[in-house]
Amino acid sequence: MKITIVGTGYVGLVTGTCFAEGGHRVVCVDCDAEKVRTLREGGIPIYEPGLDDLVKKNVSEGRLSFTTSTKEGVDRSDVIFIAVPTPPLPDGGVDLSFIEGVARDIAAAMTSYKIVVDKSTVPVKTGEKVAETIKRYCKARVEFDVVSNPEFLREGFAVDDFMRPDRVVIGVSSERPVQAMKEVYAPYHAPIVVTDINSAELIKHAANSFLALKISYINAISVICESAGANVQEVANGIGMDARIGRRFLDAGLGFGGSCFPKDLSAFIKISEQVGYDFRLLREVQHINALQMERFVKKITDTLWVLKEKTIGVLGLAFKQNTDDVRMSPAIDLCHRLQKEGAVLRVHDPEAMEKAKGVLSNVTYVADMNAVAQGCDALVVATEWPEFKKLDLERARKDMTHPIMFDGRNLFDPKEMERLGFIYKSIGR
């Protein structure tokens, strides 16, 4: 198939590259000329495990190319995926101006039948608006179909998620594009759910909101565990063995963050309001998520008392492991809260330090995780990078002014930390 992807962010670049790996011929379009130049020269603007090699391979084999011209992308493809940002608005809604702009550009360039696929996460009814926009601005008056094909990629695991998907959701308003969409996804041997566009759009928001609910649920349980002297990890293992519940997304921590869950949760609450339903359950999910960070900061202040001029080492800046994405990162939020209290920060992240510099200043960025603890009054684990489990704890204890650790991701064993001489505070244990 000949495919165009408009937008080369996390979703667009992974989608285009994996389509090329599946044997399709793919053109990726982006309005950022510098980003396109970087991609053409073999550079990758994001960190995503496995993506670098796949981009280079498919560019060299001629299946993947990059351009700043939407017209070129439209001319060279049969199926056009829209994968541009849908940033949040102050009222919890979604800014759809990028979607509308791309729809207009596609319409202006169309001279023959095309399938236009919305890959971005959008509110229900967006597909109808995209179709109206294309019809309004397409001077050639050619036929087209709009399809909703929500993505379910986890940052840090996106390549594997794309190549081995749980399911592919295809929302259509006619049968005409169905076979072509099945051919697009044929190389990945996934169950395909064909439904109407509105249902497809709701599936994405409903799925992410449910996962956010699971995270807030176990975080609420962690509060009870701390008060009752129980271990939240043991509780999570016990309930997670129930096939109806499952163990995934039942790890207590600092709360969810990133560019998807908070935005999609707010958007789904707003969508519900617009159709006349007050989704109070999801409002409580947001409330629990906010309280989790407040409790963690209180744990630090209760232990250290005054944070002013205290030196605190922070391990982790990305919102989760295996990514350099710091958008709405709980780790960055924590750093800002500690700075507000007057703390002096030494920070480290395996991949996210360069991007963190754009949102976090007046801290010492440390290249070696084992050097972060030098002179610190306390150490904080803020992101669940597996590398942090290999931290030289003996060295950290000796390097610190006071051997105190606040583990916001439950990476270490409380008994072992106590044996090593640490004052150790974790979540729900």
Active site amino acids: 260
Residue 152: how many CA atoms within 13 Å on its side-chain side?
23
Token duo for residue 352: 């996210």
Alpha helices in 110-190 (DSSP H): 126-137, 158-163, 178-185
Give me the sheet containing 168-172, strands edge to edge. Answer: 64-67, 25-29, 2-6, 79-82, 114-118, 144-148, 168-172, 192-196
Neighbours of 275 (CB within 10 A): 8
The backbone torsions φ and ψ at residue 380, rounded to the nearest 5 degrees and listed phi first, read -125, 130
Q: What angle is formed at CA 234 by the lines to CA 231 and CA 237, rounded to 5 degrees?
A: 150
Query: Using CA atoms, how far apart are residues 274 and 291, in angstroms rounded to an integer?
Result: 27
Q: Taking Cα atoms as reference points, which of 168, 162, 163, 160 lies closest to residue 191?
A: 168
Q: CB–CB of 40/56 below 8 Å?
A: no
CA distances from 141 to 69, 75, 108 (A): 21, 16, 10
CA distances from 208 to 237, 265, 283, 285, 407 (A): 22, 7, 14, 12, 26
Query: Using CA atoms, how far apart are residues 411 and 233, in angstroms rounded to an integer?
Result: 11
